[in-house]
Amino acid sequence: MMINAKDIRVIIGVIGNVLSTVVSLSYVPRFIQIYKKKSVEGYKVNRQLLMLAKCSLWVLYGIPFVHNDSNSILVSTSNGVGFVIEVIYVVVFWINCNDESRKGHDLISLIFVITFVSTVYSITILAFWSSPYKHILVGVVCDAFNIWLYLHLSLNKMEKNKNFTYMPFWLSLVSFINAGIWSAYALIYKIDIYVLSEAFHKPCS
């Protein structure tokens, strides 16, 4: 039996889900150390909070209510898993953070993330309920946030280290392959410029 382009896209999307999960789990050793030491030391949870917002937006983008392409649910599942992983990271950090001032600052950041994501969800559901262009609105918001996110993280990393620091080779390789997989997903069967743009930024994450 011949496999058509739609089936190939589904297979690629499933592979992308697996690779994205592997990338999300790359922070597990760091948080295991935090849990064992019962201290966050100098680690900041800003990245995890921002990734929560990113995953939340992409979950919205892929659901059938927003996107008329049923296969786009794979975008939601990939980011849904990532969201759960980031929540676990934040909880582990919060439990083991002994600095109340840092907790207060991080709580404000979390409230901002929740408010921002809730606003996007509310506008999409209430103002664009019957619009066939919901996926365009959400896609633009997702990509705009991605660009800001990766630029923000890169600048913070440069400011902290006075230079770029590089991911471990295995993680760089997996991220690169993951970007290629999602690029293929975005180009096969139906072209999705928003997922394609996201794939372009994946190696930077």
- 157-193: per-residue pLDDT in tens? 665 554 445 567 778 889 999 999 999 999 998 899 9
Q: Is the dihedral of CA 141, 147, 151, 154 positive or negative?
A: positive
- 17-28: per-residue pLDDT in tens? 999 999 999 999
- 68-121: per-residue pLDDT in tens? 777 789 999 999 999 999 999 999 999 998 887 778 888 999 999 999 999 999
| Mean pLDDT in residue range 122-145 | 91
For the chain, give the percent of residues with pLDDT over 90: 58
Please enumerate in sequence order all residues whose Cβ is within 8 A of that of 173, keeping only pairs 6 or more positions apart, or say none. none
Whether 130 shows a pLDDT value over 70: the answer reads: yes
Q: How many CB atoms lie within 10 A of CB 93?
A: 22
Domain ranges of the chain: 5-204
Closest CA to 139 of 199, 92, 82: 199
List helix spans (H) across 71-168: 73-96, 100-122, 134-161
For residue 160, what pLDDT is reported?
59
pLDDT averaged over every residue in the chain: 88
In terms of C-beta density within 10 A (0-12 exposed, 13-18 middle, 19 or more buried), how is residue 190 classed? middle
**At 56, is the pLDDT very low, low, confident or very high (cuts 50, 70, 90)?**
very high
Is pLDDT larger for residue 181 or for residue 205?
Answer: 181
For residue 164, what pLDDT is reported?
46
- From 55-59, 82-86, 116-120, 125-129, the region with the lowest mean pLDDT: 125-129
Q: Which two tokens stand for residue 80?
A: 């849904």
Closest CA to 20 of 57, 45, 55: 55
Q: Which two tokens stand for residue 178?
A: 């993951």
